[in-house]
Structure 1
Amino acid sequence: MENKLTEKPNITATVEFILLGFSDVPNLQWILFGIFLVIYLTILMCNGIIILITRIDPALQIPMYFFLSTFSFLEICYVSVTVPRMLVDLLTQKGNISFFACATQMCFVLMFGGSECLLLAVMAYDRYVAICSPLHYPLVMNHRVCIQLVVASWIGGVPVVIGQTCQIFSLPFCGSNTINHFFCDLPPVLKLACGNTFVNEIAVYVVAVVFITIPFLLIVISYGKIISNILRLSSAGGRAKAFSTCSSHLVVVVLFYGTATVTYLQPKPNQSAEIGKLVSLFYTVLIPTLNPIIYTLRNKEIMLALRKLVTKLLI
């Protein structure tokens, strides 16, 4: 009993973690810094342009583009939680992060990630109403409803995420303080915890089901009804236009939910640290880079608004 009491302070003595990041490729640190810096600036610029044109162009003052601009702002927030810190670690080649900073980073990553899941479901519902009930669309998706849906997607998961973060970081960390990742993600941090983490793992799965599976099922149901409705249209041009307004969103949904599922719904024993790092890199950096490109290149109205903006700036 006496030994246990004397060992207990050491169990909770972790005051900082060390993020390994990309230390396994030391010769590529500067190259990676340059690549990720360009990617981060591209994300900021492309999403910023989408926000700008959806605000100033009168043709884009409809709910679909309101949700898109909100999604773009959310993407900027999401990548800004992880990428700047990763750039600093690559620049200094140090990965030290305090206990509180690690908890804060995880909390915001989960918060913004959960908000993206909910917002993607809201965007699918918007397309469902627009295509399946076009006459009721202005009434159902009025400005007040749009604001309420966005606010709900932003704050809906905040209490759960804060509770889960506090639960994870209240665990004892008595072994290594080295996180084999480039940010404080939930699976690699949970691996460092001592003792029985079964309850915490179950809590992670429950939250993942709520914020990943349920919104994804709602999206699938919405698009099932959308596709059924589109196929009943007699005009080939009408079908093509309807599909074009949904295809971009579907591509983003598949990319985001696919990688999120691999990260948070994969059984812990099957998770490889390197694969987990690669998948996280995909959904925290590469997908936010692709999203504005997907939405702009596949959307004629956004491309037209972008040309108008460029023309105004050049004249």
Structure 2
Amino acid sequence: RGLPLGVLAALVMACSGPVIEGSGDAESDTAGGETEGTDDTSGSTNGGSSGPTGSGSDSDGTTTEGTTAGTTDGVTDPTTTDPTTDPTMDPTTDPSTDPSTDPTTDPTTDPTTDPTTDTTDPTTDPTTTTDPTTDTTDATSDSDSDSTGDMCNPPPPFAEIYWVADADVVAPMVAEASQLLPGNPIAAHSDVEGEGTVTFHVDIACQGTYYAWGLAFDGTDITGNPDSYWVSFDGGQEILWSYGCGGVDQWGWDKVDITGQNCSESAFTMNLDPGPHTIRLRNREDPGFMQAPAYVAAIVVSDDGNFNPNSLYAP
């Protein structure tokens, strides 16, 4: 019995068809009627049944292989690409581990700007260390309420020198530089008997008894030559101070005492309250024919009756 013409024509075409790249095996077996490497899910062009391997049989018992060889030439099967080797998925490039975003380098946590390291110690605020209201040396403070300021309880030693250059000189008293004293300080003198004054301004911190010395000039040792002044403090009664009796030769310091007849002396003291005071010297004698007036250049005031004025200035 012969094959139908249509089937015979199909077999002829299958055996003589071209080889297609990527179809698996490039060989055709004309003797067995097989085409290798084609993936035929239908099993046969003549309606044969298909098994799980993709093979089928036609009506004349010819078998066509439908299995997939799994090999391809030159084409990368995307189903065979291992996703673990995809460079775009390399975990070593995970942006979450980018060192540029490492939280340990967060500039907001820079220790150089840590407010806990602020070097401005509030305990060293200079505005709290120089408050004059808390000055314990304030003479007006009196912690024991004994009417004596804390600074004057007990009073510190006091000794100050006051120069004619800083005093008030009233004519005919005149002031001029001394040619005999070291440093040539200003000295005052008057050529008119009983006229001309020099007033020194003294500031006292503590109440107490004070003493005075005068830096005076005695030009000669002749009896009756000018060597005295009238002295008063705070505008009070004048006392006679004759420094010639004290043995001043040329320039020297002499304690201001009350001079009596025959050069007798009694202590001159000043009971002064805190605050400003004045000590005034008024010319007493006429310079006479020798024209050697009395001179004064400075006074010293101290609360120590035995103070040595030479420790402040040695003529």
Task: Indicate the TM-score class for this superposition, using the shorter chain for normalisation.
Answer: under 0.3
- Answer 1 or 2: which has greater helix percent: 1
Higher RCO by CA contacts (8 Å cutoff, separation 6 or greater): 1
The structure number with the bigger radius of gyration is 2
TM-score (norm 1): 0.19
- Answer 1 or 2: which has greater strand percent: 2
TM-score (norm 2): 0.19
